[in-house]
C-alpha cells in the first residue's frame, strides 16, 4: 500500500501469520505497535491526522492512533507516560485507554520515567477495546457493574474551550438515560486537591505564572509530575544522550536537555505528592466512582504551531493529564464526534485496579453517547 494511503502511520509494515488451529480472543484483528518517539518528527515525518489533516495527530504514539483512526488496523498499542495514548486518541477521534500503572507489563519497553510509564491501546470499537484490555490485563470476562457515582469537576471543564453542550452535557444525558441522574455529582476538584494534598504547597509557592490561567493545585500537581519525570528520564538516559549527542528535533531537544540538567532536590516531595494524591482521589471516587474530565482543553493544535502560542494550552493539558498520571489510575478517552470540523472527546477515570470496570462501562455507555452526540451535532448546525 502506498504511503499516501497510509497517512504516514507506519515506519515498517509486515504480516504475522497466526496459527490456524487456535481461536484466540483477538484472532483476525489487525494491529499496529508504536515505534516512534514524537508525533512531529524531523526524521520520519509527521503522521497525517485522519480527522483533521492540518492538525497535529498527537504525541509519541500518534502513528498508532492514526493507524486506527484511518481504519488501517483494528487496534494498536502505544505508551503513555505523560499523555501519549490519551492525547492522540482525542486528536484522532478514537478510543484510547491508559491502564492502571503497572497493570500491563512494560518488559521490553525502553523506560522513560518508570513512575508513570504505561502500555496502553487504541481502538474505534469499544468491544475491541475491551477485548484487547482483557488480553493485556489477563482479565476474566465479568458482568458490567453499575457506577456508584459520576463526578463532574466543574473547574476542570472550565479550562476547556469546547462548549459544555458538546462535552459534559453529552455525558450527563447519557448517564441519566442509563443509570439515572442521582449518581451525578458536581465538585470543584482544585479545592479538594488543595485541601487533601498538603505537600503540593511546595509547588504552589513563588507566584508561578502558570497558576493565573490554570487551576493552581492542578498546575502544582503537573509541576511535581514533570519534575519527577525529568529526574527519572535523566537517570535512564543521561549517559547515552551526553555520549552520543543525537540529532534531536526542535522542541524535543530542549526538553531532553532540560531533563538532563534536573537537580536531585525535591524528589522526595514528589513521591509524597504521589502518595497523598492517590489516597485523596481514592477517597473521592470510593469503590465504583468515575471522574469525568476533558481529555485535552480544546481543539488539536495546528501543525507547526509556534510553541509560545501553545503555552497556556499545554499547561492546562498537563494539569488534566497529571490526574491519572500522578495517581496511577486508569483513564479512557472517548470520542464525542466533531465540533467545527474538529474532533471532540471526554475522559473517564477510575481508581487503580478498576480497569475491567472502566472497560465494561465504556462498552455500556458508548452507543448512548453516540446517540447524544448525534443530537448535539444536529442541534448546533
CATH at 89 = 3.90.1300.10
Percent of the chain with pLDDT over 90: 70
Q: For residue 245, give its domain range.
A: 3-380
List the one residue out of 129, 140, 133 whose CA is nearest residue 118. 133
Cell 505523560 belongs to residue: 82
Cell 473521592 belongs to residue: 284
List the one residue out of 92, 148, 126 whose CA is nearest residue 360. 126
List the one residue out of 298, 277, 282 whose CA is nearest residue 342. 298
Active site residue 84: yes
Q: How far apart are CA 174 and CA 170, in angstroms?
A: 6
The pLDDT assigned to 21 comes to: 56
Q: Quick one: how far is CA 45 from the chain centroid?
A: 23
Cell of 247: 540529532
- pTM here is 0.91
pLDDT in tens, 11-57: 566 666 666 656 778 877 877 775 544 455 544 568 999 999 999 99
Active site residue 370: no
pLDDT in tens, 114-167: 999 999 999 999 999 999 999 999 998 889 999 999 999 999 999 999 999 999
Q: How far apart are CA 353 and CA 102, in angstroms?
A: 10
Give the count of domains, the chain: 1
| Active-site residue identified among 60, 64, 222, 333 | 60
The answer to whether the beta carbons of residues 37 and 29 sit under 8 Å apart is no
Quote the radius of gyration of the chain (alpha carbons, Å): 20
Percent of the chain with pLDDT over 70: 88
Q: How far apart are CA 185 and CA 138, in angstroms?
A: 32
List the one residue out of 147, 190, 160 whose CA is nearest residue 351. 147
Element (H, E) at 97: strand 95-98
| Active-site residue identified among 62, 64, 84, 333 | 84
Lowest average pLDDT, out of 24-28, 70-74, 237-241, goes to 24-28
Cβ burial, residue 267 (10 Å; 0-12/13-18/19+): middle
How confident is residue 205, by pLDDT bands cut at 50, 70 and 90? Answer: low
The answer to whether the beta carbons of residues 167 and 346 sit under 8 Å apart is yes
The pLDDT assigned to 25 comes to: 81
Cβ burial, residue 106 (10 Å; 0-12/13-18/19+): middle
Helices 189-196, 267-285: inter-axial angle, 10-degree rounding: 120
Return the sign of the alpha-carbon dihedral for residues 42, 48, 53, 55.
Answer: negative
Q: What is the mean pLDDT of the chain?
A: 90
Q: How far apart are CA 55 and CA 71, in angstroms?
A: 18
Mean pLDDT of 99-128: 97
The pLDDT assigned to 24 comes to: 76
The pLDDT assigned to 276 comes to: 99
The pLDDT assigned to 7 comes to: 74
Tally of CB atoms within 10 A around 7:
22
The pLDDT assigned to 43 comes to: 47
Mean pLDDT of 297-319: 90
Q: How far apart are CA 7 and CA 63, in angstroms?
A: 9
The pLDDT assigned to 109 comes to: 92
Q: How far is CA 42 from CA 39, 58, 247, 252, 304, in A?
A: 10, 15, 9, 10, 12
Lowest average pLDDT, out of 12-21, 104-113, 353-362, goes to 12-21
List the one residue out of 365, 354, 361 whose CA is nearest residue 139. 354
Classify strands 149-153 and 289-293 as parallel, antiparallel or unpaired: parallel
* SS3 category, 331: strand
Mean pLDDT of 217-242: 93
How confident is residue 60, by pLDDT bands cut at 50, 70 and 90? Answer: confident
The answer to whether the beta carbons of residues 224 and 273 sit under 8 Å apart is yes
The pLDDT assigned to 97 comes to: 99
The pLDDT assigned to 88 comes to: 96
**160 or 378: whose pLDDT is higher?**
160
Mean pLDDT of 273-283: 99
Amino acid at each position: 500500500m502506498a504511503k499516501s494511503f497510509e497517512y504516514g502511520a507506519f515506519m515498517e509494515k509486515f504480516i504475522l501469520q497466526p496459527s490456524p488451529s487456535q481461536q484466540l480472543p483477538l484472532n483476525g484483528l489487525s494491529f499496529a505497535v508504536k515505534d516512534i518517539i514524537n508525533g512531529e518528527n524531523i526524521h520520519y515525518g509527521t503522521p497525517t491526522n485522519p480527522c483533521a489533516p492540518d492538525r497535529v495527530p498527537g504525541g509519541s504514539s500518534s502513528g498508532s492512533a492514526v493507524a486506527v483512526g484511518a481504519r488501517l488496523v483494528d487496534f494498536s498499542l502505544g505508551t503513555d507516560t505523560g499523555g501519549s495514548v490519551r492525547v492522540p486518541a482525542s486528536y484522532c477521534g478514537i478510543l484510547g485507554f491508559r491502564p492502571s500503572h503497572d497493570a500491563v507489563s512494560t518488559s521490553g519497553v525502553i523506560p522513560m520515567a518508570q513512575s508513570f510509564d504505561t502500555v496502553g491501546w487504541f481502538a474505534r470499537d469499544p468491544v475491541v477495546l475491551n477485548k484487547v484490555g482483557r488480553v493485556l490485563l489477563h482479565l476474566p470476562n465479568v458482568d458490567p457493574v453499575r457506577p456508584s457515582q459520576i463526578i463532574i469537576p466543574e473547574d476542570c471543564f472550565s479550562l476547556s474551550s469546547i462548549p459544555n453542550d458538546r462535552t459534559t452535557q453529552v455525558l450527563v444525558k447519557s448517564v441519566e438515560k442509563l443509570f439515572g441522574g442521582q449518581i451525578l455529582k458536581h465538585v470543584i476538584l482544585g479545592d479538594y486537591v488543595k485541601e487533601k494534598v498538603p505537600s503540593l504547597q511546595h509547588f504552589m509557592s513563588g507566584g508561578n505564572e502558570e497558576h493565573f490561567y490554570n487551576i493552581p493545585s492542578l498546575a502544582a500537581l503537573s509541576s511535581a509530575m514533570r519534575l519527577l519525570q525529568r529526574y527519572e528520564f535523566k537517570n535512564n538516559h543521561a549517559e547515552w544522550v551526553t555520549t552520543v549527542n543525537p540529532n534531536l528535533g526542535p522542541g524535543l531537544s530542549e526538553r531532553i536537555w532540560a531533563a538532563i540538567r534536573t537537580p536531585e532536590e525535591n524528589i522526595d516531595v514528589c513521591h509524597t505528592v504521589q502518595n497523598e494524591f492517590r489516597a485523596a482521589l481514592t477517597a473521592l471516587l470510593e469503590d465504583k466512582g468515575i471522574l469525568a474530565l476533558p481529555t485535552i482543553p480544546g481543539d488539536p493544535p495546528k501543525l507547526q504551531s509556534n510553541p509560545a502560542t501553545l503555552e497556556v494550552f499545554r499547561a492546562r493539558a498537563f494539569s488534566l493529564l497529571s490526574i491519572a498520571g500522578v495517581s496511577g489510575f486508569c483513564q479512557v478517552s472517548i470520542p464525542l464526534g466533531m465540533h467545527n470540523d474538529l474532533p471532540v472527546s471526554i475522559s473517564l477515570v477510575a481508581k487503580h485496579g478498576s480497569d475491567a470496570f472502566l472497560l465494561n462501562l465504556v462498552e455500556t455507555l458508548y452507543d448512548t453517547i453516540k446517540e447524544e452526540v448525534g443530537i448535539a451535532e444536529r442541534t448546533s448546525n
